[in-house]
Amino acid sequence: MPILRIPVWQYTLAGGSAAVLALYALGSPWAWLILQAAGTVVLFGAARRHRCGWWLFFGASAAGTLTSLWWTIRGGEPATTPMGLSLAVQYALHAAAAVQFSRLRRPGGAAEAGAVVLALAMLAWSFIVLPYLGQPGYRMVDDALAMLYAVLDLAILGTALRAATGSRRVPGGLVAGAGVLLVGAHLVYAATAAEGTRPFLPGGLPHLVLQFWWVLIVAAALHPRAAQPRAADAAPGRVTLTVMYTAAVASPLLPAIADPSAIVVVPALLTAGLCGLLLLRIVVLARLAERRARQARAALHEQQVLQRRLAHRAGHDGLTGLANRDLLLDHLGRAVAGDRPYALILCALDGFKEINDTYGHHVGDTVLCQVAGRLLLFAPEVELVARLGGDEFGFLITSGTDAAALAERVVTAVSAAPYAVDERRIHLTARAGLADGVPGNNAVLGDADLALRAAKQAGGARTARFDESLRAEQSERTRIAAGLRQALADGTLFMHYQPVVDTGTGRATGVEALMRWRRDGESVPPGVFIPVAEQTGLIGAIGARALRLACAQAAVWHREHGLYLTVNVSTHQLRDPGFTTSVLSTLADTGLPAEALVLEITESVLIDAADTPVLGELRAHGIRIAIDDFGTGYSSLAYLHALPVDILKIDQSFIRRLQDPPRPQDVSLTRAILELAGSQDLLAVAEGVETPGQADLLRDLGCPLAQGYHYGRPADADTIDTLMREHALHAAT
């Protein structure tokens, strides 16, 4: 904990040194003890916090303090061999601690250091102390102790070098410095011992040098990097094992080598064998545990790899390798929870279903993969490119990329060049919807979906951006869909009929059935509810209902007035494989002959359905097919001869231009269409005839049939009934 930006260990260094010098001047032996005891307490704290080497330093400090206490109580320098030896404990523990401190902390590391210290002690006892014990003369024992201390000094110097060159320089340097002080104290002792002073007692220079050991070690203990990093769990290395094995086996033998009598040799050999076997057993167990740990680590690694693979599979599309819907939702969730704006682009391919239906799924899949390849080129600009399923893709933008420009570039990239599959060149276009995300609001996916839908419905533009009006439209669509479901049950869907008239005679030859819906007393235009019925798939049931009602009514008019019936049909109905059967059974049930039925299909739907057998089947049964709203679709005129149709209904927009007086170019355009119909043996019907002038002109141009407010507005069956009876009466008189 730094005080005034100076770390505590530096205070300790300065304060401790000052205290030592002050006490030296004071000269009280008991005051030294207080200083040493305080250092021991600090080291005890460090040992509890950092463990390992610090327990040994604590031990060294405690041993040193006890030695001082002993010597102080006895009141003199070492008088006996044990007293002389007592200081060696502090030295030996310091050596072991310094070894331990300079290496990574490892489980069992203290035990290893302890083993080394004990082996050294055994060595010293057997060869230094034992030979001199019992021999007369104090000096001899003194010499033996000197040799023991010399061995310890060498060991300490070794550790000091190692600690000083270690990576954790500052505490390492302090520990090394403390070691040098221990050795230094001995050198001073060696230099001054001959003078007969009491060097290791207070007042002596070695004693003073020794006190600085406490200062340095305590400062090191308070250093922030005093804690040693932990090493990975591993069995001891080859060198450590060899040292420990040698120590374990050799130690019991040492006394026998020093005194090779049978009494000593036999138990020494037996003990050495026992130690060797025990250690061998421990090493085998350690190796086994390590192998198991290695296997467990390998299994864990394998499991992690598998988990990563599974996670990748769970978040990616199996076919294209792009992120899947789940992963996109996951990233979206994070964007919603974040605080930065984001945007989502949804992109759908036009007519992909037809590619699948026409060429098969193999080709469809290949095209999808190629599309994904092109879309991936945008990956660096966005957070995620995903395939949401089918032919729909998503781009999540969380950076500053211009989302609108990106949406444009995406749709351009999809249609830029044809897709090559086997020998085929397949052209594709795409639409994109874009929505801006607001942090905390997770409606962006629905918004982008609405924008995509708007882009699909809009004529020219291929991209659309979400705005609130789209949501209002969506909720209106939902309301309409719910109403239509109800209408199917309660009969509020009914038919109106509009006469189709022979321009020459002015007589009705047929009627077009037009569906009507009265919701809550108000009539909803077909232009509003038919698209919703198509989007929701309700058109199947609704169309079948319309056909049945109209056929039942027209059967009567056909019998009485020879009228034919023309009914509008949607794409969804044509895609239903049971459509032909359903039409035929309706005809059979209602009694309307197939020849009296015309099915009207708009130009674009007709081109979609041209490849399917359904139109051929219907025509084979005598049912005629009409192109509705001709001129509004995007089929080329050259394509017309290839379509399986019988009647061509010219769209109202052409007829509307034939206002009095009509412009020559408009007249010639209508004439051209009529000539085209004639050349293809198609019966032409002009739609939307509102004025007598238009009616006359069309008759003069040779248009055989016409329909419009001029002849009669769509009306209920009773009104048409009355009209037909009046006409019949008129004709009869």
Give yes or no for residue 447 binding Mg ion (CB under 5 A). no
Contact assessment for residue 404 and residue 465, using Cβ atoms and an 8 Å cutoff: yes
**Total interface residues for Mg ion by CB under 5 A:** 5
Return the one option of Mg ion, ligand C2E, none that residue 527 interacts with (CB less than 5 to 8 A, by type).
ligand C2E
Task: State in Å, rounded, how far the first CA of the chain is from the last one.
Answer: 121
What does the per-residue mask of binding to ligand C2E show for 538-577, with x meaning CB under 6 A?
A: -----x--x---------------------xxx-------
Nearest to residue 414, comparing CAs of 381, 391, 383, 444?
Answer: 391
Give yes or no for residue 632 binding ligand C2E (CB under 6 A). no
Minimum gap (Å) between residue 600 Cβ and Mg ion: 4
| Residue numbers 86-105 binding ligand C2E by CB under 6 A | none
- Select 523 or 722, whichever has its Cβ closest to ligand C2E: 523
Among 185, 628, 682, 724, binds ligand C2E (CB under 6 A): 628
What does the per-residue mask of binding to Mg ion show for 686-725, with x meaning CB under 5 A?
A: -x--------------------------------------
Rounded to whole angstroms, the Cα distance separating 405 from 707 reads: 46
Nearest to residue 338, comparing CAs of 407, 378, 397, 393?
Answer: 397
- Select 224 or 506, whichever has its Cβ closest to ligand C2E: 506
Write out the H or E segment, with its range, that includes residue 629. strand 624-630
- Select 498 or 580, whichever has its Cβ closest to Mg ion: 498
Rounded to whole angstroms, the Cα distance separating 570 from 574 reads: 7
Three-state DSSP class for residue 420: strand
DSSP 47-111: HHHH-THHHHHHHHHHHHHHHHHHHHHHTSS--SHHHHHHHHHHHHHHHHHHHHHTS-B-TTHHH
Tokens describing residue 610 = 């041209």
What does the per-residue mask of binding to ligand C2E show for 594-613, with x meaning CB under 6 A?
A: ------x-------------
Between the alpha carbon of residue 466 and those of residues 120, 435, 443, the distances in Å are 84, 5, 11
The separation between CA 405 and the C-alpha centre of its own chain, rounded to angstroms, equals 26
Instruction: Give per-residue burial for 355-376: e unless 16+ CB within 10 Å, then b.
Output: bbeebeeebbebbbebbbeebe
Residue located via tokens 């893709």: 393
Give yes or no for residue 629 binding ligand C2E (CB under 6 A). yes
Minimum gap (Å) between residue 592 Cβ and Mg ion: 18
Minimum gap (Å) between residue 380 Cβ and ligand C2E: 46
Tokens describing residue 301 = 């690694």
Rounded to whole angstroms, the Cα distance separating 606 from 358 reads: 15
Rounded to whole angstroms, the Cα distance separating 97 from 95 reads: 5
Cis status of the peptide bond prior to 531, with omega within 30 of 0: no
- Select 126 or 707, whichever has its Cβ closest to ligand C2E: 707
Among 93, 159, 708, 724, binds ligand C2E (CB under 6 A): 708
**Total interface residues for ligand C2E by CB under 6 A:** 24
Minimum gap (Å) between residue 638 Cβ and ligand C2E: 24
- Select 213 or 557, whichever has its Cβ closest to ligand C2E: 557
Give yes or no for residue 515 binding ligand C2E (CB under 6 A). yes
Write out the H or E segment, with its range, that includes residue 323. strand 323-324
What does the per-residue mask of binding to Mg ion show for 631-670, with x meaning CB under 5 A?
A: ----------------------------------------
Give yes or no for residue 324 binding ligand C2E (CB under 6 A). no
Minimum gap (Å) between residue 366 Cβ and Mg ion: 39
- Select 124 or 706, whichever has its Cβ closest to Mg ion: 706
Rounded to whole angstroms, the Cα distance separating 341 from 444 reads: 11
Minimum gap (Å) between residue 727 Cβ and Mg ion: 22
Contact assessment for residue 539 and residue 570, using Cβ atoms and an 8 Å cutoff: yes
Among 600, 609, 701, 706, binds Mg ion (CB under 5 A): 600
Return the one option of ligand C2E, Mg ion, none that residue 514 interacts with (CB less than 5 to 8 A, by type).
ligand C2E
Minimum gap (Å) between residue 593 Cβ and ligand C2E: 20
Residue located via tokens 């015309």: 598
Minimum gap (Å) between residue 529 Cβ and ligand C2E: 9
What single-letter amino acid sits at 643?
L
What does the per-residue mask of binding to ligand C2E show for 487-506, with x meaning CB under 6 A?
A: -----------x--------
Contact assessment for residue 81 and residue 129, using Cβ atoms and an 8 Å cutoff: yes
Rounded to whole angstroms, the Cα distance separating 687 from 729 reads: 27
Strands 392-397 and 493-502: unpaired
Return the one option of Mg ion, ligand C2E, none that residue 526 interacts with (CB less than 5 to 8 A, by type).
ligand C2E
Among 344, 384, 530, 677, binds ligand C2E (CB under 6 A): 530
Among 621, 709, 722, 725, binds ligand C2E (CB under 6 A): 709
What does the per-residue mask of binding to Mg ion show for 566-585, with x meaning CB under 5 A?
A: --x-----------------
Write out the H or E segment, with its range, that includes residue 476. helix 468-490
- Select 184 or 688, whichever has its Cβ closest to ligand C2E: 688
Contact assessment for residue 456 and residue 470, using Cβ atoms and an 8 Å cutoff: no
Residues that bind ligand C2E (CB under 6 A): 498, 514-515, 525-527, 530, 543, 546, 568-570, 600, 628-629, 652, 687-690, 707-709, 714
Residues that bind Mg ion (CB under 5 A): 568, 600, 628-629, 687
